[in-house]
Amino acid sequence: MLMNKRNIQHLYLRGGFGINSNKLKELEDKATKDVVKELFDDSENYIPLKIDLSELRIMVIDDNKKNSEKTAKKEAKMRLQKLNRQKTKELNYAWIDRLKQPRSILKEKMTLFWANVFVCQDNNNIFHLQQYNNTLRKFALGNFKDFVKAIAKEPSMSKYLNNRQNVKESPNENFARELMELFTLGVGNYSERDIKAAARAFTGWSFKFNGDFYLRENKHDFGQKTFFGKTGNFDGEEIIDIILEQKQCARFICTKIYYYFVNPKPNEKHIEELANFFYEDYDIKKLMHYIFSSDWFYNDENIGVKIKSPIELLVGIQTIVPVEFQKKQQLYNLQKLMGQILLNPPNVAGWKGNKSWIDANTLMLRLKLSAILLNNAIIDIEEKGEFEDSFDDYYKIQKKQNNYIKTIVSWNVFESEYGILDLPELKEVLIVAEMDKDTNAFIENLKFSSNKDFCIQLMSIPEYQLC
């Protein structure tokens, strides 16, 4: 099958964050297998995401030295915590910068997906958090069994789900429960007895100061356990092996992948088809290649039906028009206002996605986002409280002082690529969803003096919210 423009846009919106006009022209009328192969080839290499932690590393060493003065020790700890929070934000910004890069885009999109499957938060140790984020990246297109085992050994996950407190004298069931409920099987596909046995198998799992895993043998339960009908002296890795022997594990993961990459409305036939394929060897790369190569992936029913997440929307705009934030804190505030802060999930279940992204607090901001980033539209960008705050509290216009998102917009890059397109061509490149007739009539009746103005308007219509 030869790829048309809409199919290529669909592939790159689901396997990335969109595609620019020149790349779209380059790929048009190529065979599906060749376009898909190029997407995967670009994500072949693993490039860890790293920020400069040298200053914090020195402070950690100093803080761990014995200090007889309690006040000095307390002040040092407070400085360490403050710098740790700053570095966590830096990692957030660095991740978004990585998402904007066209190379390795599939691996980065997969990393973003897995961050909402293996949900984790670590507010206390940026070293462990960066390591965790790179583990997601390293295994994003790898073997799922190896992936789960690596995640189970991560310090950030151990702290987040209390597995470091899981000892044979008093087993803690938090990690074992979430491992099955949220990470591998789903509610109702295991018993309380299975949870208790799994918790015993993970006792004694811990980590060193540098983030390396190790087993505290004196805290591990080496006794017999019965798990999913099997009995033995199972450890945590063997528990994971048994979980993946359950066909339900493949079905559960494929359902999540289908929801995220194909359609929020499940097609049980296609999900079962994927589960049968994935169950053979749990190879994530092969599974994603199978999806993107399937004819049904490009059916009209799957195109332009998914609401972009805040990060997809934010990065997608910058795929068309490069933007640099002069004040990085404003980038963080925007994430907060839209309801998705990278590295800061709402709970262990993660973000619900799709329609949950749209509510009274976020809709108007999303529709104004392109004007805010590209055209100096006014918005109150001061940090607010929690999301139950009122709409007016979020978006009231400042009467005494106008607040702007301070950005450097590379319109010259946009003009070099999109300035030569006529308006219908520009609309075709930017909008993949079916246009509502009223929206289309509204757009047709407007007069635009430049492609720049038309671009901002197109990014402000409801259809641009869809991918």
| Bridge partners for 408 per DSSP | 324
Q: pLDDT digit string (tens) for 221-269?
A: 999 999 999 999 999 999 999 999 999 999 999 999 999 999 999 999 9
**Residue 56 is assigned to a structural domain of this protein:** no
Characterise 354 by phi-psi region: left (phi > 0), alpha (psi -120 to 50), beta (else).
left
Residue 135 near residue 191 (C-beta atoms within 8 A): no
Q: How far apart are CA 354 and CA 260, in angstroms?
A: 9
Residue 87 near residue 51 (C-beta atoms within 8 A): yes
Domain co-membership, 359 together with 450: yes
Q: Which residues of 250-280 are buried (b: 16+ CB within 10 A; e: fewer)?
A: bbbbbbbbbbbbbbeeebeebbebbbebbbe
Q: Which helix (H) or strand (E) is 165 found in, with range?
A: none
Domain co-membership, 424 together with 454: yes
Distances (CA, A) of 315 to 281, 323, 324, 399, 415: 33, 10, 11, 30, 19
In the prediction, which pLDDT does 377 show?
Answer: 73
In the prediction, which pLDDT does 75 show?
Answer: 79
**Is the pLDDT score of 182 beyond 70?**
yes
Higher pLDDT, 394 or 456: 456
Domain co-membership, 411 together with 290: no
Kindly report which listed range (169-178, 188-197, 352-361) carries the lowest average pLDDT score: 352-361
**Is the pLDDT score of 397 beyond 60?**
no
Domain co-membership, 260 together with 283: yes
Higher pLDDT, 381 or 413: 413
> Across residues 440-459, what is the average pLDDT?
94
Provide the CB-side half-sphere exposure for 226 (13 A, CA): 4
Domain co-membership, 258 together with 387: no
Kindly report which listed range (22-26, 28-32, 382-386) carries the lowest average pLDDT score: 382-386
Q: pLDDT digit string (tens) for 113-156?
A: 999 999 999 999 999 999 999 999 999 999 999 999 999 999 99
Domain co-membership, 276 together with 358: no
Range of the domain at 260: 5-41+246-302
**Is the pLDDT score of 195 beyond 80?**
yes
**Is the pLDDT score of 68 beyond 80?**
no
In the prediction, which pLDDT does 72 show?
Answer: 64
**Residue 69 is assigned to a structural domain of this protein:** no
Domain co-membership, 382 together with 406: yes
Q: pLDDT digit string (tens) for 72-102?
A: 677 778 888 899 999 999 999 999 999 998 8
Domain co-membership, 320 together with 440: yes
| Count of domains observed in the chain | 2
Residue-averaged pLDDT of the chain: 92
At which residue do the structure tokens 């197109």 appear? 458
Q: How far apart are CA 221 and CA 203, in angstroms?
A: 6
Domain co-membership, 278 together with 359: no
Local structure of 288: helix, strand or coil = helix
> Across residues 201-208, what is the average pLDDT?
98
**Residue 97 is assigned to a structural domain of this protein:** no
Domain co-membership, 274 together with 377: no
Q: What share of the chain has pLDDT > 70, as a percent?
A: 92
**Residue 47 is assigned to a structural domain of this protein:** no
**Is the pLDDT score of 220 beyond 70?**
yes
- What tokens were used for 47? 């490039």
**Is the pLDDT score of 62 beyond 80?**
no
Rg (CA), the chain: 24
**Residue 106 is assigned to a structural domain of this protein:** no
At which residue do the structure tokens 């990690």 appear? 175
**Residue 236 is assigned to a structural domain of this protein:** no
Domain co-membership, 315 together with 459: yes
**Residue 178 is assigned to a structural domain of this protein:** no
- What tokens were used for 255? 């359902």
| Of 269, 302, 335, the domain-final residue | 302
In the prediction, which pLDDT does 205 show?
Answer: 98
